[in-house]
Structure 1
Amino acid sequence: MKKLVLVHWHPGEATLFRRELETLGWQVFCVDRSEKTRLKPIREFQPRLFLISLSRLPSHGQAFARAVWSTAWARNIPILFFDGSTETVTEYKRLFPDAYFCRRENIAVAIQKILEE
């Protein structure tokens, strides 16, 4: 099964977005700002992709990305950041040069391209 981790700042919006992703055939593990990043359950989930919102609280997404990329098991799992201001995206491209970036409306296409690489 296709699995991804969704990191989103707002639990309610994350739930709605999770449902959209599930209709596209994804099994989704959600991480929101209300919980500490616990990597063990994420590792056990075995995601193929990390999908991180930059729309608000981008520092939460940054902390999560740094945490997963600092582990041997997650270092090669692609990270796709979506949305965020021009300034935030520019900064994150510098901080995470191997990550991918897109707008929310282009996520399905971006995921497909990333996983085909």
Structure 2
Amino acid sequence: MARIFYVHWNESEALERIAPMTEAGHDVRTHWSTESSPSLKGELPDAVVISLDRLPSHGRAVAEWFQEAKSRRHIPIVFEGGKPDKLAVARAKFPDARFYEMGRVADMLERLLTAVQE
């Protein structure tokens, strides 16, 4: 299955939210610290999932970080959840990103990754 990098700014919520992805067989790494940069030990992920439910500006900063380097630009960025006004900002800044309601990402990942590979 896929390597997923999941970003949410609350550790216990992040671990709860990745459960459906890991149960589906994905290798999911999480990042929840506002005091450190994301760590990508080893291979790059196949997709990045960023929650907009907490600290959406921090999530957008992580998305920017992924798009800064040519080696990371090909990685699909998926935003999950968020209030309508925060979604509007993210949609304007990342028009190629995917946006899903909280809890729908696990179901959509396989379809998304298949589409990206084609």
Which letter does structure 2 place at the counterpart of 1:89?
Answer: L
Q: Quick check: which one's helix share is greater?
A: 1
Percent of residue pairs bearing the same amino acid type:
30
Which letter does structure 2 place at the counterpart of 1:100?
Answer: R
Which letter does structure 2 place at the counterpart of 1:47?
Answer: P
Match of 1:105 in 2: 103
The structure-2 alpha-carbon separation of the partners of 1:35 and 1:20, relative to structure 1 and needing over 3 Å to count, comes to farther
Match of 2:19 in 1: 19
- After the TM superposition, which parts of structure 1 deviate over 4 Å for at least 4 consecutive aligned residues? none
CA distance in 2, matches of 1:66, 1:43: 19
Q: Which moved more, 1:63-72 or 1:27-36?
A: 27-36
- How far residue 73 of structure 1 moved from its aligned partner, in angstroms, is 1.2
Q: Which moved more, 1:6-15 or 1:105-114?
A: 105-114
Which letter does structure 2 place at the counterpart of 1:109?
Answer: D
- Segments of 5+ residues of structure 1 without an aligned counterpart are none
Q: Write the mapping of 1:23-102 to structure 2, written as runs, cut at 5 A.
A: 23-38=23-38, 41-42=39-40, 44-102=42-100
CA distance in 1, matches of 2:104, 2:20: 13
SS in 2 for 1:72: coil
CA distance in 1, matches of 2:101, 2:17: 14
- How far residue 58 of structure 1 moved from its aligned partner, in angstroms, is 0.3
- Segments of 5+ residues of structure 2 without an aligned counterpart are none
Which letter does structure 1 place at the counterpart of 2:2?
Answer: K
8 A contact 2:17–2:103 mirrored in 1: no
CA distance in 1, matches of 2:43, 2:6: 12
Query: With structure 1 as the length reference, what TM-score do the two structures score?
Result: 0.89
8 A contact 2:44–2:72 mirrored in 1: no
Which letter does structure 1 place at the counterpart of 2:15?
Answer: T
Q: Which moved more, 1:6-15 or 1:43-52?
A: 43-52
Number of equivalenced pairs: 115
